[in-house]
């Protein structure tokens, strides 16, 4: 593919941007966790544990912490007995909604196409 130099730069910039996204979102669980919180608006630890098929509490705890650090998720401790913790998306986290929806749609199509046949 022949490209003008500034075209090539554009491609590189875009590749970098994708990498930046993936640095935050990649891993086996992150997207699923975000989806869970996103679809239910607010979600407790044990609920997410149930939503995300196969995840262990250790992993969930670790991943949520990372998402919090990256300011995608907000953690609220409720004053109940025993303690309850609620997770919700931050405003920045909410900007992922489009991507979640796209991945949901694509997953359904993919299942039809490849798995379902």
Partner DNA sequence: CAGGATCCTATACGATACTG
Partner DNA sequence: CAGTATCGTATAGGATCCTG
Enter the DSSP assignment of 53.
Answer: T
- Is 107 among the residues that bind a copy of itself (CB under 8 A)? yes
Q: Give me the helix-helix angle, 57-69 and 30-40, nearest 10°.
A: 80
Per-residue contact track with a copy of itself, 53 to 82, x per CB under 8 A? x----------------xx-----------
- Is 42 among the residues that bind DNA (CB under 7 A)? no
Closest distance of CB 80 from DNA, Å:
8
Pick from 24, 31, 45, 90 the residue near DNA by CB under 7 A: 45
Closest distance of CB 53 from a copy of itself, Å:
7
φ/ψ of residue 30, rounded to 5: -50, -55
Please answer whether residues 87 and 49 qualify as being in contact, where contact means their C-beta atoms are separated by less than 8 angstroms: no
């Amino acid at each position: 593919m022949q490209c003008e130099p500034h075209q090539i730069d554009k491609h590189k910039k875009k590749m970098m941007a994708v990498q930046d996204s993936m640095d935050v979102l990649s891993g086996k669980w992150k997207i699923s966790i975000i989806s869970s919180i996103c679809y239910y608006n607010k979600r407790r630890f044990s609920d997410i544990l149930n939503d995300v098929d196969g995840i262990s509490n250790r992993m969930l705890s670790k991943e949520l912490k990372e998402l919090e650090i990256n300011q995608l998720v907000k953690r609220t401790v409720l004053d109940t007995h025993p303690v309850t913790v609620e997770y919700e998306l931050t405003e920045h986290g909410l900007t992922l909604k489009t991507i979640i929806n796209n991945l949901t749609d694509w997953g359904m199509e993919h299942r039809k196409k490849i798995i379902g046949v």
